[in-house]
Structure 1
Amino acid sequence: MTHQILVVEDDPAHARMLKTLIADWGYEVVLADDGDTGVEQVKSRSFDIVLLDMKMKRLSGMEALKQILEYNPSLPVVMMTAYSSVDTAVEALKIGAYDYLTKPLDFDRLKLTLERILERIFLQSENQHLKERLKSTALHHNILGKSPAMAALLDTLNMVAPTDANVLVTGESGTGKELAAAALHDNSPRKDQPFVRINCAAITPTLLESELFGHAKGAFTGADKKRKGKFLLAHKGSILLDEIGEMTLPMQVKLLRVLQEKEITPVGSDDNISVDVRVIAATNRDLKAMAKQGTFRQDLFFRLNVVTVTIPPLRERPEDIPELVLHFLARFSKKNRREIKGVAPDAMDAMIRYAWPGNVRELMNAVERAVVLARTDYITRMDLPFGQTDESETPDRAHGAGHLENTPLSRIEKQAILSTYAAADGNKSETARRLGITRKTLLKKLKQYGKDK
């Protein structure tokens, strides 16, 4: 494999000389004529090393360095500077540059520097930098990310949490709706009281009423004793009704009454019991559209939708991926007793570019798989689930619909099915539901792809 070197230099003659020299050493070289074009190149394709001039006209090397490392903190950047700018170069090292070289360049040292980086391309310094950033995010109740989208989310949570308003948390599967619900509870006046969770889709409609409101002894076959429901267990605290969109219409009527009257009636009992519970509902479905279609009660929708909190999908905040990767890396290295030291730049770049249809849950699964299967002390692209996949098969947010024009439909279908299957943790029924196909069809496709075991 030929290593990719990006040279960012606004002096055309010096840039051409470097390209010729470095290409003779066996590297593929790409030129950028200023800091802004250098940043664009990093975002548009993968590089192993960046050589970055300090002084440029449109965007300085220092500012370009900051933007490059913000996009991919694992990418090694070597600054090129005049003797008079050594202090600035030292400042660049503090920001995260790998090294600096003074002009006129010592070509032997340049070659040695490139070789040294490639020998240790899995850089501990960048990973340590990410780990330090990771520690600083603990303030936000296990919600990681500093992107504008996550900053807006956290701002909304901070405003809503201290109130007693019902909240509807929406977002695609795997985005972290339960974490947002927990943050709402943990930052509310109810934080010292119970936080009870229930997945409405995981319980049969006939049992859901009993799970929510409890039942009296002898209420039905097998009810040999009185049992408290989730609402009573959450008294004075909060309850999370996850997958609320899967609740049947008859059950929705009973839930609406609880929200209106602030009291429950256990199954098989005539007693009305007052409850003081903050309701947080979560769904990956469009309840407003369902209400218009008549599959979800409009009055219940309005009761639940006092405030809506929407969790952005991971593909809309790729700048948060390095933090999440390092977080999962630390967790799963410890869990699986593997001493994985970090992530290679090519792997981090691939994860930043991947569209993650299964969102954070899919990323988490991918990192754990990579930790378990890693052949070295560092995760490489080949350790990722899509690492050995042809790039045309990998969903990429940068290419859009045009990227799929010449891709066979069978290949797109395969990627969609396998990505959804991974995001659903191998649950075939859930995968079929998300894809909108029958379980029989899914099993046939998985057998075709060799994933039927």
Structure 2
Amino acid sequence: MSRKKTILVIEDDIQYGELLKDALVHFGYDVMLAYSATGGMDIIRQEKLDLIISDINMPGINGFQLAERLLKMFLDIPLILITGLDDLKLIKRALAVGVSDYLVKPIKLDELPVVLEKGFERRRLESKKLQDNKAEILLKALKALMRALDAKDHYTCGHSQRVAALAMLMAEVLGLDAEQKYTLHLGAY
């Protein structure tokens, strides 16, 4: 059973914050609520969050400044900014600082789950891309190391590559899945 996704709502309007919280709880999310960006940052540092919804116009730190701080902290938490102003310049600025989405108040609560799921999916795809990049770098480093070892001894030159190729042929015959093939390929080097 998967855990409920946890969402932080940062909204200085207490009534609107409570309304959002109640709607999100109704949709099955765990929700934390902060009434300022500073309070939100405290929660961000302490809790494992899946998504943040923040008002733009708040006293002190605004939603744009919050987005910039999250980027500096290297947090890949999707951030959705909300505001009462339907202004194209604000939308462009929000997307430029890397937010997942931008919503104009009053939010259509029945459409909220779709927007949230889009944010979760974007995060999942970005994480997968990062993981794939790390795996590719690891494989390249491993191959370079094996070429260096093979080059030291002419007798074993190319041996690691031949073993890896044979291992992949056996994996194909055995019908292994992609992850098992990848693990076998790494081990063959």
Give the whole-Å Cα distance in 2 for the aligned partners of 1:74 and 1:53.
19
What SS does the corresponding residue of 1:122 show, helix, strand or coil?
helix
Determine the structure 2 residue equivalent to 1:47: 49
8 Å Cα contact 2:67/2:99 also seen in 1: yes
Residue pairs, 1:10-159, within 5 angstroms: 10-124=12-126
Cα displacement (A) at 1:26:
0.5
What SS does the corresponding residue of 2:31 show, helix, strand or coil?
strand
Give the whole-Å Cα distance in 2 for the aligned partners of 1:115 and 1:327.
24
Give the whole-Å Cα distance in 2 for the aligned partners of 1:92 and 1:38.
18
8 Å Cα contact 2:86/2:104 also seen in 1: no
Determine the structure 2 residue equivalent to 1:331: 137
Residue pairs, 1:158-237, within 5 angstroms: none
Give the whole-Å Cα distance in 1 for the aligned partners of 2:132 and 2:43.
25
Q: Deviations over 1:161-202 (max 9, x none)?
A: xxxxxxxxxxxxxxxxxxxxxxxxxxxxxxxxxxxxxxxxxx
What SS does the corresponding residue of 1:51 show, helix, strand or coil?
strand
What SS does the corresponding residue of 2:123 show, helix, strand or coil?
coil
- Is the alpha carbon distance of 1:85 and 1:55 closer, same or farther for their aligned partners in structure 2, counting shifts above 3 Å? farther
Cα displacement (A) at 1:55:
0.4
Give the whole-Å Cα distance in 2 for the aligned partners of 1:127 and 1:66.
23
Give the whole-Å Cα distance in 1 for the aligned partners of 2:6 and 2:16.
19
Structure 1 gaps of 5+ residues are 132-324, 338-373, 376-453
Give the whole-Å Cα distance in 2 for the aligned partners of 1:67 and 1:75.
12
Q: Deviations over 1:219-238 (max 9, x none)?
A: xxxxxxxxxxxxxxxxxxxx
| Alpha-carbon RMSD | 2.9
8 Å Cα contact 2:37/2:66 also seen in 1: yes
Cα displacement (A) at 1:335:
5.6
Larger Rg: 1
Q: Deviations over 1:356-394 (max 9, x none)?
A: xxxxxxxxxxxxxxxxxx97xxxxxxxxxxxxxxxxxxx
Give the whole-Å Cα distance in 2 for the aligned partners of 1:333 and 1:108.
45
Cα displacement (A) at 1:80:
0.5
Give the whole-Å Cα distance in 1 for the aligned partners of 2:74 and 2:87.
25
Cα displacement (A) at 1:74:
1.5
8 Å Cα contact 1:74/1:123 also seen in 2: no
Aligned residue pairs: how many? 143
- Is the alpha carbon distance of 1:9 and 1:333 closer, same or farther for their aligned partners in structure 2, counting shifts above 3 Å? farther
Determine the structure 2 residue equivalent to 1:449: none
Q: Deviations over 1:100-134 (max 9, x none)?
A: 1111111122221112233443143x888xx8xxx
- Is the alpha carbon distance of 1:54 and 1:123 closer, same or farther for their aligned partners in structure 2, counting shifts above 3 Å? farther
Give the whole-Å Cα distance in 2 for the aligned partners of 1:112 and 1:85.
22
Cα displacement (A) at 1:330:
4.8
Structure 2 gaps of 5+ residues are 144-177, 180-189
What SS does the corresponding residue of 2:124 show, helix, strand or coil?
coil
Cα displacement (A) at 1:88:
1.8
Identity of aligned residues (%): 27
The two structures have a TM-score, normalised by structure 1, of: 0.29
Cα displacement (A) at 1:58:
1.5
The AA in structure 1 aligned to 2:38 is D
What SS does the corresponding residue of 2:4 show, helix, strand or coil?
coil
Cα displacement (A) at 1:13:
0.2
- Is the alpha carbon distance of 1:54 and 1:334 closer, same or farther for their aligned partners in structure 2, counting shifts above 3 Å? farther
Give the whole-Å Cα distance in 2 for the aligned partners of 1:23 and 1:336.
47
- Is the alpha carbon distance of 1:116 and 1:84 closer, same or farther for their aligned partners in structure 2, counting shifts above 3 Å? closer
8 Å Cα contact 1:48/1:75 also seen in 2: yes
Cα displacement (A) at 1:63:
0.3
Cα displacement (A) at 1:327:
7.4
What SS does the corresponding residue of 1:115 show, helix, strand or coil?
helix
Cα displacement (A) at 1:37:
1.6
Larger fraction in helix? 2
